[in-house]
Amino acid sequence: MNDCIFCKIISGQLLCEKLGETQNVFAFSDIQPQAPLHALLISKEHVASLNNLTPQKRREILPEMYDLADQIVQDKGLRERGYRTVINNQKEGGQVVFHLHMHVLAGAKLRGHIGA
């Protein structure tokens, strides 16, 4: 999608701090972090939300998101301390950018809604 900020990141039109990548998922640092580590893991294919995933895409994308999240916190030395994964779905679920993405937060005692 031309106006989707995450699609622009995937295409290289916008720069980011890349944290990792799989066949279906791209990970980068959030520009407004809510914790010392705040990664965003996005589907490479534009999918607006969890509601728009086909069963096949759900089986492909979501396991890769969780595996990459685990790899990132392990690489940062934060896996054993603990981390939070969050997928907001639709407006009332807190989704702001309508491109499937997961937040990964770590590096501090997390409290409240999503951040430290």
Alpha-carbon distance of 72 to 76, in angstroms, equals: 6
Name the active-site residue from 46, 101, 103, 113. Answer: 101
Query: Helices in 12-101 by DSSP H: which ranges?
Result: 55-75
Contact 85, 66 (CB under 8 A): yes
The answer to whether residue 101 is catalytic is: yes
Ramachandran angles phi, psi of 91, nearest 5°? -60, -50
Terminal Cα-to-Cα distance of the chain (whole angstroms)? 32
* Catalytic residue set: 101
